[in-house]
Structure 1
């Protein structure tokens, strides 16, 4: 018997997915236009209560954000080795030049990646795809045809894993491509694409037959609630961005990347 997974609990876990999306965008927007340690570090510190209220357990948080924790230091190392050469030179060899400027830029890059990526992952980890589709259609007013088509495609992603396993077992049973790993992978990938296209065509036909693409205003089985919790979440994101920008400007570290060099 497969143990049931308890639903995520937290002040933000049940918030409208559109509000989670808006909060993540509001936090990330100013950080996209600057590379400095102050704004990114302040934003990251202020995001901690938001991450704790997202409704994820410690294991879920670390497992879902693991790629970010790997990518951020790697980006920092790359910037440190090949970034802007400025100030004291510590190491210089061929194309590698580690200086004060490259190290400062590397630290800012690590904080920036974490501050932008972590809120989006933590907030959307508790968003149900159907609730997200309802929110995008009812609150953001995106075209229902596009939203429902994307939702149907997301629901089929899990089937690709099962198809891959079935293809692997079937090809082994026939003795096809037992030698040559690259050839076997390419053949299975092509077969998987064919299966995905066929299943997508069938899904599109069935949805069209049920009136999902009708050119009329559609009704919804579930409403997408919006209230004070959603406005508070967006306000918290705006407050985090405002404080981070103000701290960077006050300390003189604001570095507008689209400004004149």
Structure 2
């Protein structure tokens, strides 16, 4: 199985995609309202406790999480060196200023990025794009023209990767742009752009011929329904978000982002 494909064997995959999307909203909104390490740490702890119940293979989770983990470490390291100074100063040299404030802010950013990214990884790793599109249109009543267009575009991402690989092999076999990485990249990117426009035009014509975007109510091959366990999933996310706010306010670390 490709690391980019959703895992249908995961236990969370049986939940409605709309419920999983709604479950990520309270966690994300809570973390975006405050930038303190306590609320982010409580949310991250709750996510880690629930992570084994998702049923995702550890290897798949690592392959999808390590770029975000690396980005979180880089962002927190930059904050340690160049964050807003406050409290005791530990080191200062030019623009570098390491202090209590920069260390606390760096920890908050690290925990915050991880707490936001891990639920998003679970959502993407256990959700089929077609099921998500069905739920968005049938349950949330989003415009089907927009949802189906986005679904079609998402389905073509894999084809773009294959096209890029085939273009590389074809140009190498013909001896085109053997030297000069920048020129080779720009030429190949332009060729891929032309292929994408041609495929998009054909896809738009085919979808219009099949009645996509036509006026009137459309039918759906697979109905999307919410079940009681979907409500339980959303309730758990709300409880974790409320606990993070309550604990952060109780210890006095809750800090609205617009007060920084």
1:251 aligned residue: 251
2:174 aligned residue: 174
Deviation digits for residues 90-114 of structure 1 (CA, Å, limit 9, x no counterpart): 1111100001111111111111111
Contact 1:90 1:98 in 2 (8 A): yes
Contact 2:16 2:226 in 1 (8 A): yes
1:89 aligned residue: 89
Q: TM-score, normalised by structure 1?
A: 0.94
Deviation digits for residues 115-150 of structure 1 (CA, Å, limit 9, x no counterpart): 111111112211001101101111111100111111
Deviation digits for residues 183-241 of structure 1 (CA, Å, limit 9, x no counterpart): 01100000001100110010010000000110111010001121111111111111000
CA RMSD of aligned residues (A): 1.5
C-alpha separation between the residues in 1 aligned to 2:37 and 2:165? 46
1:7 aligned residue: 8
Contact 1:20 1:124 in 2 (8 A): no
Match status 1:47 vs 2:44: no
Deviation digits for residues 7-33 of structure 1 (CA, Å, limit 9, x no counterpart): 3232x2210111111111111101101
Contact 1:27 1:238 in 2 (8 A): yes
TM-superposed deviation, 1:6: 7.2
Give secondary structure in 2 for the equivalent of 1:141. coil
Match status 1:238 vs 2:238: yes
- Whose helix fraction is larger, Structure 1's or Structure 2's? 2
C-alpha separation between the residues in 2 aligned to 1:201 and 1:60? 35
Moved over 4 A (4+): none
1:65 aligned residue: 65
Give secondary structure in 2 for the equivalent of 1:98. strand
Contact 1:80 1:103 in 2 (8 A): yes
2:222 aligned residue: 222
Give secondary structure in 1 for the equivalent of 2:91. strand
C-alpha separation between the residues in 2 aligned to 1:107 and 1:170? 48
Unaligned runs of 5+ in 1: none
Unaligned runs of 5+ in 2: none
Summarize the Cα distance change of 1:163–1:145 in structure 2 as closer, same or farther, 3 Å threshold: same
Q: TM-score, normalised by structure 2?
A: 0.95
C-alpha separation between the residues in 1 aligned to 2:221 and 2:188? 39
TM-superposed deviation, 1:174: 2.5
C-alpha separation between the residues in 1 aligned to 2:162 and 2:220? 31
C-alpha separation between the residues in 2 aligned to 1:94 and 1:175? 50
C-alpha separation between the residues in 1 aligned to 2:35 and 2:113? 10
Give secondary structure in 2 for the equivalent of 1:237. helix
Contact 2:80 2:98 in 1 (8 A): yes
Of residues 46-55 and 174-183 in structure 1, the stretch that sits farther from structure 2 once superposed is 46-55
Give secondary structure in 2 for the equivalent of 1:214. coil
